[in-house]
Amino acid sequence: MSGRGFLEVENKKPFKQRSLSLEDLFEYAKSRELKERKESIPTTTNNIPKMKVSVDDTLIVNSNRPHLSYTSDDFDDTSDTDKEISQELSVLTPLSAPDQSFPSNALLSSTDEQEHSSILRPSLTSRDKLSVTRANIPMREGEVLYFKTDEASVVYMNPFGNPVTGYFYITDYKVYFKGNEQDQSTNLQIPLGCVNHVEKVGGKRSRGEYAYGLEIHCKDFRSILLALKLTTEYSRNDIVNMICKLAFIFNSPPGQFFAFRYKPTYPGKYHDGWALADIEKDYQRLKIANGKWRFTSANQNYQLCDTYSKTLVVPASVSDEALRLTTAFRSRNRIPVLSWLKSNGACICRSSQPLPGSLNRRNRDDEQYLQSIMRTNPQTHMIYIFDARPKVNAQANTMKGGGYEQDDNYQNMHITFLDIPNIHVMRESQRKLYELCFNGVDNTNWYTKLEDTRWLEYIRLILDSTNKIVQAVDRDAATVLVHCSDGWDRTAQLTSLAQLLLDPYYRTIEGFEVLIQKEWLSFGHKFNDRIGHGKKNHLDEQRSPIFLQFIDCVWQMIMQFPFDFEFNEKFLLTILQHLYSCLFATFLYNCERERTIFYPVQNFTESLWTYINCQKNLYTNVLYQPQLAQRVLHPVASIRKLDLWTNYYIQWNPRMKPQEAEVERCKELEEIIKVLKKKCSQLEDELHKRKTVEDV
């Protein structure tokens, strides 16, 4: 293929009205994969819409598709609650055109989908299109409307009040319910990225006024039950299939997430959030150029470890060849590398488990490598290894070829097992919490059921483990290595939380963004697998609330140290909101390699950090005291000091909202602080004048 498109992609410079197609992007991904891993990937590119990059890097999808005529053999929904959605819409025709800068930019392809024989999509007249385009719902730039009910024929079964009749809309970004004229205050917006799964409720023969409909289960602790009138023009199958087609797009060609079509305008000064992806600057801030550590180019093309960043810091005494020999003895080739460095030489490193297996194999290169890490710190002659797993789990992993560092094989080493359960246990805990928070908030057995979820117990365990790491680094000036099995879940939780407590820079808005960029994104936390972006199988065993637990732990810290964090609760809520929304590409895909080579998000999408940093005042903690914040924090890891984060987990229940808006109260407090500071200044001036008079 010609180099016309991807030379510009890789150099990451502003585009000058150059054409680029999704077919080129897909072919490029294929060629890089074949080159590096000698594996084949699907090459079917029929009907892939063309893509053009405009002057402002806006992703524009152009495609001409005829409107489908109204041809329907109505489905028999009598038993469809027991059926899987095995047929999906092959072609979706939008009812409205997007903003002028996004001409027809949300049409999906039908590369490998079987054509659906019953697509209920009538051809629209010019008047119909005009009325749909002017539909009174909020629309983002580039957003396209695909479906709307012509009358108030959908009923939202409000679990906290009376049923609400209204209109139902589906766009390429969200599902939207708007109450009718009598209930205009009831508006629901569900980003398609938040959709966990859609369940059909009842059948055509079900009795009851609201017995027939669908339920949308969301990843953000919501469950929306909608009842449909049987006389409606569109069948339930059409609505369910359209939601699934637009929401579950992971196996579609590259660029199908709405983030690739969203180009917002920002108030105030523009801040490029993607600049924070350069973690080399953070390492330079830590002053690693001390002769003990160095940057290595061994992973420049991700050939050393494909789930690590290309920017790695290793002991200066270790050669790149020695690094390559070490990879063979670490799971997923994730060798120990530097995460954080203290001025006195104490440091935090991270890795995956070693691979001694059931035969207790040894690897001299790995053993010598850990000794090299230990020698970078003149304050100690020990290396402290914190294994996040329960010891019994680590021992069980030896039967699968994994394991842990044995005392007999590694000199000057002390290992501590932190007993944090695996992703499957955390997923089950989240499921119980989901059922409790949405369905049983007012239940008399609330505290008993909350305890049964063990959610707060796991939060306590993570905080307690973090405290142990912080004490070893801060009090003992130790060299610390943290790992779990593969080093991208529990390891990321512990290393990032430890740095948050040790380094006040990470407690600023920009610093926290850098921390997430480094410890979670660059070091390969599998966001796509853990969150399930665009994936249909909601029972996938790879899903787990690892990042949610991390944010929950940060919130617990803010509650204990309200003056030490520059950011407020709204900042954390916004991060979680867009963790699922797919409005920004910050949390899309599993590792840096995927986000740079296969799906170059920095060239085509916006960063969440851009959105936040252009309006920092909304996310600033008015109680923040920078002078006080220059200290190491030691949170109390006790159930008695932990609370359920109701503003997140139960945010959809209006009965659980605080009587007084916290944001408004903070603004009032800020004004009071200004008045008091002014009064103090006046009193100081008056006192100074009196002293002057007395001296005379």
What residues are designated binding site? Answer: 397-400, 422-423, 484-490
Selected catalytic residue, list 347, 349, 484, 553: 484
The helix/strand count (H/E) of the chain reads as 21, 18
The residue type found at 315 is: P
Pairing type for strands 174-179 and 479-483 reads: unpaired
Alpha carbon of residue 39 to chain centroid:
28
Q: How far is CA 428 from CA 218, 453, 458, 574, 651, in A?
A: 16, 8, 12, 25, 21
Number of other residues whose CB lies within 10 A of the CB of residue 150: 12
Which helix (H) or strand (E) segment holds residue 428: the answer is: helix 423-439
Give the C-alpha separation, 383 to 364, whole Å. 17
Distances (CA, A) of 525 to 488, 496, 518, 543, 583: 5, 12, 10, 12, 19
Q: Are strands 187-191 and 174-179 parallel, antiparallel or unpaired?
A: antiparallel
Pairing, β 213-218 against β 174-179? unpaired
Q: 515's torsion region: left (phi>0), alpha (psi -120 to 50) or beta? A: alpha
484 a catalytic residue: yes
d(CA 593, CA 307): 7
Take residue 617 and report the two structure tokens written for it: 């005042």
Other beta carbons within 10 Å of 343: 8
Give the dihedral sign, CA 386/392/397/399. positive
Q: Distances in Å between the alpha carbon of 656 and those of 217, 448, 467?
A: 20, 18, 32
DSSP assignments along 101-130, one per residue: TSTTTTPPP-SSPPPPS----PPPPHHHHH
Q: How far is CA 361 from the centre of its chain?
A: 38
The two structure tokens encoding residue 404: 């842990």
Q: In whole angstroms, give the CA distance from residue 578 to residue 281.
A: 25
Q: Tokens for 622?
A: 């008015």
User: By C-alpha distance, which of 233, 245, 99 is closest to 172?
Assistant: 245
d(CA 264, CA 508): 25
What are the b/e assignments for 605-623, b being 16+ CB within 10 Å?
bbbbbbbbbbebeebbbee
Q: Which 3 state secondary structure label does DSSP give 75?
A: coil
Residue numbers belonging to the annotated binding site for substrate: 397-400, 422-423, 484-490
Chain centre distance of CA 396: 31
CA atoms within 13 A on the CB side of 456: 18
Which residues are marked as active site? Answer: 484
